[in-house]
Every structure is written in C-alpha cells, then in structure tokens.
Amino acid sequence: MLWLCMASSVFIFTVLLVTYMVRKVGADWRNVSLPTVFLASTAVIIASSLTLHIANSAFRHERFTQYRLYLGTTLFLGTLFVVLQVLGWRQLMLKGVYLQTNPSGSFLFILSGLHLLHIVIGLVFLSIAFAEAMRRIPYVEAFVYSVNPPNMLKIKLFTLYWHFVDVLWLYVFLFLLYHHGL
C-alpha cells in the first residue's frame, strides 16, 4: 500500500512539473526567485534522513537510548523543516508574491505546500514512533518491542516513507532552483 501511495505522489508531482513547463511559456509568466531559506530547509531535510538512518541502525543493534535520541532529533529536524518552509512563504509574501499574483509564484506555493503536506503526514507517524520509544525506556521492554515483527515492519515502512519524501523534496528543489534560481 505504501508503494502505491508513493507512486501516486510521484505521479502528482510529475503532472505538476510538466504543467509548470507548459505554463512557463505563457505571456504572464514572471520568474520569482526561490526564497533563500529553502536552501537551509533542504540541508535540514537531508540531515533528518541521516539522523533517521542512524536511529534505525541503533534500533537494529539494540542501542535503544541512541535510537530514541536520533528519532527525537529527526522529529526536531522535520519540524524545523516545516518552520523554514513557512518562513520561505513569508519571504515570498514580503516580496509581494502570493498564490494568485503570478503563475510562477503560484507553482512555488503549490509545489512546496503539497510537499509540506507529505512532511506533516510523516511527522505524525514519526511522533507516534517517538512516543512509543519513550514509553519503552527499560531495556527489556524496548527489546521485546524491537523483535516484534509488526513493530519492525512499522519502523521500516516509516523510514522508507521519510526517505522518499526527502528525495522528493530534493527533486522538486533542484527543479525549482534550476528554473528560478535563489
């Protein structure tokens, strides 16, 4: 089911990017520079993938304190990404770019907003995983949780989703950077 959802997301973003390319030749198109804070948010989302990778390695090797630390760090970085994206929207608005102002600006809001929705969904699942990890502080409870196949699958699927959303942002960001510049 997760693979189907990810394929649907790829399809939606592909359609939007193709529409962007078609719409770009319109007479009313005025390029809008990307908010500079989007560069920082990209670094943050890459760091969150790294911290989640470390958390998963710690989980598999029964280093549960390290697992909780890096899972919490990933949650923090994911939340920071959301804050930075909102600040990027604020930068656009301070330049007078709004959803309805110009097609170029509209695409910036739509693409980053749709991606942000995917991140928020991921943050919900990350928060649940973090809360479960914090409920199982004693080693025996954490170990029993870690060897339970449904729990292992849940963490594997969440990690796959998070890395997918990170790669999706990198693709969208690089596309926008190429077409808009900073």
pLDDT of residue 140: 82
pTM for this model (two decimals): 0.91
Q: Count other C-beta atoms under 10 Å from residue 61's C-beta.
A: 11
User: CA-CA distance, 170 to 65, in Å (whole number)?
Assistant: 30
Nearest to 168 by CA among 7, 29, 59, 30: 7
Regions of the chain with pLDDT less than 50: none
CATH superfamily of domain region 33-180: Cytochrome c oxidase, subunit III, four-helix bundle (1.20.120.80)
Q: What is the pLDDT of residues 66-107, one digit of tens each?
A: 999 999 999 999 999 999 999 999 999 999 888 787 888 899
Nearest to 60 by CA among 125, 151, 134, 138: 151
Give the rounded distance of the alpha carbon of 62 from its chain centre. Answer: 27
What separation in angstroms does the CA of 98 have from each of 61, 88, 124, 128, 152? 48, 12, 28, 34, 43
Is residue 105 classed exposed, middle or buried when 0-12, 13-18 and 19+ CB atoms within 10 A define those classes?
Answer: buried
Domain ranges of the chain: 33-180
User: CA-CA distance, 44 to 96, in Å (whole number)?
Assistant: 26
CB-CB contact of 32 with 180 (8 Å)? yes
Run of H or E residues at 8: helix 2-23
